[in-house]
Amino acid sequence: MSDRNIEGKFVIKKVTKFSELVEGQTLEIPESDLCFQNENTIVQLSYVKPEDTAKYEIKPGIYTLEQTSAGISTAKTDIYVERMLESIDNTSKIIGEARKFFSRIDAYERRGRIKKRGVLLYSKPGCGKSSAIKKFCTDFVKEDPGTVVFMWPTSSVEADSITAFLSTQSEYVAECTRLVLIIEDIGGGERTGERGPAPVESGLLNLLDGVGVTFKLPTFIIATTNHPENLLESLADRPGRFDLMLELAPPNLEERIALLEFIEGRELNAEEKMALARKGAEDFSIAHLNEIVVRADLDGKSIPDVVQELIEHSKRFDNAFQKKRTTGF
Same domain, 117 and 219: yes
Same domain, 106 and 215: yes
| 251 pLDDT tier (thresholds 50, 70, 90) | confident
* Domain contains 148: yes
Domain CATH code at residue 225? 3.40.50.300
What's the number of domains the chain is made of?
A: 3
Domain boundary residue among 247, 280, 295? 247
* Per-residue pLDDT, 189: 46
Residue 318 has pLDDT above 70, yes or no: no
**Residues present in the chain in total:** 329
Q: How many CB atoms lie within 10 A of CB 294?
A: 11
Residue 303 has pLDDT above 50, yes or no: yes
Query: Where does residue 76 rank: exposed (0-12), middle (13-18), buried (19+ CB within 10 A)?
Result: exposed
Same domain, 229 and 259: no
* Domain contains 3: no
* Per-residue pLDDT, 10: 64
Closest by Cα among 236, 232, 202, 189 to 25? 202
Same domain, 76 and 180: yes
* Domain contains 77: yes
Average confidence (pLDDT) over 240-265: 86
CB 220 within 8 A of CB 244: no
- d(CA 210, CA 240) in angstroms, rounded, equals 9
In the β-sheet with 41-48, what is the strand arrangement from edge to edge?
9-17, 41-48, 34-37
* Domain contains 99: yes
| 13 pLDDT tier (thresholds 50, 70, 90) | low
Average confidence (pLDDT) over 4-20: 63
* Per-residue pLDDT, 329: 43
Same domain, 22 and 128: no
Same domain, 116 and 97: yes
| 243 pLDDT tier (thresholds 50, 70, 90) | confident
Average confidence (pLDDT) over 19-34: 71
Burial 205-233 (b: 16+ CB within 10 A, else e): bbbbbbbbbebebbbbbbbbbbbbebbbe
Residue 54 has pLDDT above 90, yes or no: no
Same domain, 235 and 281: no
Q: Where are the beta strands (DSSP E) in the chain?
A: 9-17, 34-37, 41-48, 56-58, 61-68, 71-76, 116-122, 147-153, 170-172, 178-184, 219-225, 244-247
**47 bridge partner residues:** 10
Domain boundary residue among 207, 224, 247? 247
- d(CA 252, CA 176) in angstroms, rounded, equals 40
**67 bridge partner residues:** 72
* Domain contains 292: yes
Residue 327 has pLDDT above 80, yes or no: no
| 3 pLDDT tier (thresholds 50, 70, 90) | very low
* Domain contains 1: no
Closest by Cα among 274, 277, 310, 305 to 291? 310
| Domain membership of residue 42 as a residue range | 9-49
* Per-residue pLDDT, 235: 66
* Per-residue pLDDT, 51: 47
Q: What are the C-alpha distances in Å from 138 to residues 73, 74, 165, 175, 232?
A: 21, 18, 23, 18, 31
* Per-residue pLDDT, 12: 67
* Domain contains 2: no
271 CB-near residues (< 8 Å, 6+ apart): 304
**Phi-psi label, residue 193: left if phi above 0, alpha if psi -120 to 50, beta otherwise:** left
* Domain contains 4: no
CB 98 within 8 A of CB 140: yes
pLDDT in tens, 110-125: 888 889 998 888 887 7
Mean pLDDT of the chain: 80
**Between residues 137 and 230, which one has the greater pLDDT?**
137
Cα 114–chain centre separation: 20
Residue 302 has pLDDT above 80, yes or no: yes
Same domain, 89 and 229: yes
- % the chain with pLDDT above 70: 75
Domain boundary residue among 204, 225, 247? 247
Dihedral sign (CA 99, 105, 107, 111) = positive
pTM over 0.75: no
Same domain, 267 and 242: no
Same domain, 25 and 99: no
Residue 220 has pLDDT above 70, yes or no: yes
Residue 177 has pLDDT above 90, yes or no: yes
Same domain, 62 and 144: yes
* Per-residue pLDDT, 124: 77
Same domain, 235 and 274: no
Residue 150 has pLDDT above 50, yes or no: yes
